[in-house]
Structure 1
Amino acid sequence: MRGHGLEHVSNRDRLVEHLQKPGEDIEPRYARWAEERRRCPVAKTSPAEGSGPETYVVYSNAGVRQVMGDDRCFTKPGPSWRTTRTLLSMNGEEHRVHRALVADPFTVQGVARFEKTLIVPLIHDLVDKFVSRGEADLVLDFTSHYPFHVIRRIIGIDESEHDEFIGLAFPVNGLNRGWEDHIKEFLLPRIHAARANPKDDVLGLLARSELDGRPLTDEDFLEYLLLLIPAGADTTVAGSSNMFAGLLLHPEQLELVRRDRGLVNRAVNEALRWQNPAATTFLRRSLCPVEVEGVAMPENTLIRAHVSAHNRDETVYAEPDRYDVTRERAPAGVFGYGPHICLGMHLARAEMRVALNVALDRLPHLRLDPSAPRPFVRPASGPDTGGDGSLAAVNSLPVLFDPPA
């Protein structure tokens, strides 16, 4: 397995080790989820004694859209281990006001400002490090790098702290109380420095902002940063890696995009549909008696919206297990629905789009290394599975290409 481009620094080595952990192919799970959906689009689980309340799992596209998009009937509970609230645990008007405060850098217009000045040069610099070799591991040398650099720069963390930032943004032991304590220790001095000298970054934006006519407190800062730092990198690492995996495992699709760059956006969308880069399921709680796909649920019911399964619902997508860049219908819900739709979705799409265009420009005849094992996407893991919080992603993509003359 290759990985020549990473510096030998502790947190980066830990990231490499984490990415290289063995795992199984996720595809058999999609077949099982499809069978569950056909048998019963909404299934009631029976937890082991003492392990928690009964929960409904929604597998269908229509059911997930309903549960994720209707904030009058469903609410989003926050993680039980957090001591600091984030946007994820806010709802209604509170969520709207807090989200609007930090939204500007992540709008289409805000991301466009970063694309030419930050994302494009950064991705070219990464390719410079391996392009002369004619071989690379696109995950270890490429897609696992630029998302961390981009979100670090946007937030306002200095490059000298990049290694420590990786450890915070991609904690190999998962998001938990220990991680929260560590990241607070890292952030508080930088929050105080931003107040004294606000710059043109997220820290500076927060330092200049007010809530209810008052400056933001340390706790207010942490509400945003404890969400942005991990979410701003890991989803794009997974999305970009899976995009290249889909194209390389289906070389006829890669050739279509190479011949017609107008398909780049579709290739990005299809990657996000084919392999959901966020959590497999999202938890919601019913606020009133409600019916989902003909199943009646009382108030205060816990519901898992199975976003990975709903992206492959055969009633919505023809041949849903196939990666196909010619699909005319753009997938919905890959970044969620309703008020909690992912704040960073435009940034993630821009990074994926730029990465693909740069790879097509600078890595001619890009192809899988035939001497390496066939790559596959590993399932997501998290608290529900006893895992470490990693997302569904391919962990290695050894490739060959024609080096510059």
Structure 2
Amino acid sequence: MGSNRPSTLAPDFFSPRFREQAYTLYRDLREKGAVHPIQMPSGEPAWLVTRYDAALAALKDPRFIKNPRTLPDWKDDLPEEIEVFDEHMLAADPPDHTRLRNLVHQAFTPRMIEGMNHRIQEIADTLLDQIASTPSRRCDLIDAYAFPLPILVICEMLGIPADDRKRFREWSNALLATTNRPEKMEEARPKMKEFQEYLGELFHMRRSDPADDLVSRLVHVEEEGSRLTSNELYSMIFLLIIAGHETTVNLIGNGVLALFQHREQRELLRRRPELLDHAVEEILRYYSPVEMATDRWAAEDLSFFGEPIPQGSLVIVALGSANRDKSQFPEPDRFDITRQPNRHLAFGMGIHYCLGAPLARLEAKIAIPTLLERLPELTLDFGEEPLPWRQDFLMRGLTKLPVRF
């Protein structure tokens, strides 16, 4: 399936140095058009959407579906250990998507998120107490702060022991590495088997001894039979863990990086704390934590922004590119915490708009100013080496953020 149109973009697009060059490459692509043929590492042809107007349209267009199993002649070759985690909201279309989203919507209401404010502040203060007591006055801010804060929050919401958070990092990294990279599947299988066994034990415990947490509620729903299958339960918990912390880890890390790369904006935020909401939105736009929206496929032969896209074609929306489009954002490569309006697409758009966006925003609005207030002498501790961007396909985030204080 898909287009056989040749592509010259793949070598640059998937090179290890892509993250460093991405914004220049995106700008060049936007100048040439809105939609571009590329080739995935597997050899599969795909279409990359780079302009803001086209990205917004693609995210809302029902002709681009999330579950390719409904396509004619679709062959699903996911290993069993990975397939069990592939029946979640982001891989579903209505009516399944609507049903699954409604099940977890109760946990992400504005009132519930606002109720987390005090607990998030406690976690941030505890982590910064630990950092401040470090004898070397140095640390990796990803490991010490940006990662543990959101994983502790989502673990508490789900009712998962916080001591297991490092294992979640291994599991999530293993699965994210397989995105559009079939050669990584075999490597990920043992980790995914471990994760499935872990969740199976947790579900068994919550069935016999339910608690006031989201896992207990979802297990109860699964037992009703018709509303949540076993694979949907595994997939839902996995998605909540991934979506509940991966984006926020990147948001906090990218935010600190951007503020320290632009000293005048950091000082402006210190002087005018009322700009915090705008600052978080600009971080989301400037260094979008999710670089690529999750996969979509053309449900039919169609024309999209002048390009004929055959049925079954893989379509990828480059959120990081759309958020640097000068047609929507004046001086798009300038980091400006006073930017208004700022209608970025960092959390997507349409029916798949990120359910956890309010929680991610709240965590960033607590984590970043608390860090700046508690460690006012904080500085980045990088040498001349390139920034250590993660190499998985979907995310833009740092693998480490060394600082001294």
Which TM bucket (shorter chain)? 0.7 to 0.9
Aligned to 2:30: 37
Q: How far apart, CA to CA, are the structure 2 residues paired with 1:289 and 1:25?
A: 31
1:326 aligns with 2:351: no
Matches within 5 A, 1:96-175: 96-116=98-118, 118-132=119-133, 135-171=138-174, 174-175=177-178
Matches within 5 A, 1:186-205: 186-205=198-217
SS in 2 for 1:296: strand
Q: How far apart, CA to CA, are the structure 1 residues paired with 2:308 and 2:18?
A: 35
Question: Could you tell me how far 1:271 is from its partner in structure 2?
Answer: 1.1
Render the CA deviation track for 1:292-350: whole Å, top value 9, x for unaligned. 22223333332221111111011111121121111012233211111112222111111
> Aligned letter for 2:36?
A
Q: How far apart, CA to CA, are the structure 2 residues paired with 1:167 and 1:47?
A: 25
Aligned to 2:368: 356
1:283 aligns with 2:283: no
Question: Could you tell me how far 1:281 is from its partner in structure 2?
Answer: 4.8
C-alpha change, 1:280 and 1:377, in structure 2 (3 Å) is farther
Aligned to 1:265: 277
1:399 aligns with 2:403: yes
Once structures 1 and 2 are overlaid, which stretch shifts more, 162-171 or 137-146? 162-171
Q: How far apart, CA to CA, are the structure 2 residues paired with 1:330 and 1:93?
A: 32
Once structures 1 and 2 are overlaid, which stretch shifts more, 181-190 or 224-233? 224-233
Aligned pairs, number: 367
Q: How far apart, CA to CA, are the structure 2 residues paired with 1:373 and 1:269?
A: 29
SS in 1 for 2:96: helix
C-alpha change, 1:182 and 1:301, in structure 2 (3 Å) is same
Q: How far apart, CA to CA, are the structure 1 residues paired with 2:266 and 2:298?
A: 43
Structure 1 gaps, min length 5: 1-22, 383-388
Question: Could you tell me how far 1:400 is from its partner in structure 2?
Answer: 4.1
Question: Could you tell me how far 1:42 is from its partner in structure 2?
Answer: 1.4
Q: How far apart, CA to CA, are the structure 2 residues paired with 1:206 and 1:196?
A: 14
Aligned to 1:13: none
1:221 aligns with 2:233: yes
Q: How far apart, CA to CA, are the structure 2 residues paired with 1:138 and 1:160?
A: 19
What's the TM-score, normalizing by structure 2? 0.82
SS in 1 for 2:113: helix
1:62 aligns with 2:48: no
Q: How far apart, CA to CA, are the structure 1 residues paired with 2:314 and 2:172?
A: 29
Percent of pairs with identical residues: 28
Given that residues 279 and 380 in structure 1 are in contact (C-alpha distance below 8 angstroms), is that contact kept between their aligned partners in structure 2? no
1:51 aligns with 2:57: no
> Aligned letter for 1:231?
A
C-alpha change, 1:390 and 1:293, in structure 2 (3 Å) is closer
C-alpha change, 1:344 and 1:317, in structure 2 (3 Å) is same
Q: How far apart, CA to CA, are the structure 1 residues paired with 2:18 and 2:222?
A: 47
Given that residues 137 and 398 in structure 1 are in contact (C-alpha distance below 8 angstroms), is that contact kept between their aligned partners in structure 2? yes
Structure 2 gaps, min length 5: 1-15, 69-75, 179-187
SS in 2 for 1:45: strand
C-alpha change, 1:213 and 1:392, in structure 2 (3 Å) is closer
Q: How far apart, CA to CA, are the structure 2 residues paired with 1:189 and 1:130?
A: 34
Once structures 1 and 2 are overlaid, which stretch shifts more, 142-151 or 243-252? 142-151
SS in 2 for 1:354: helix
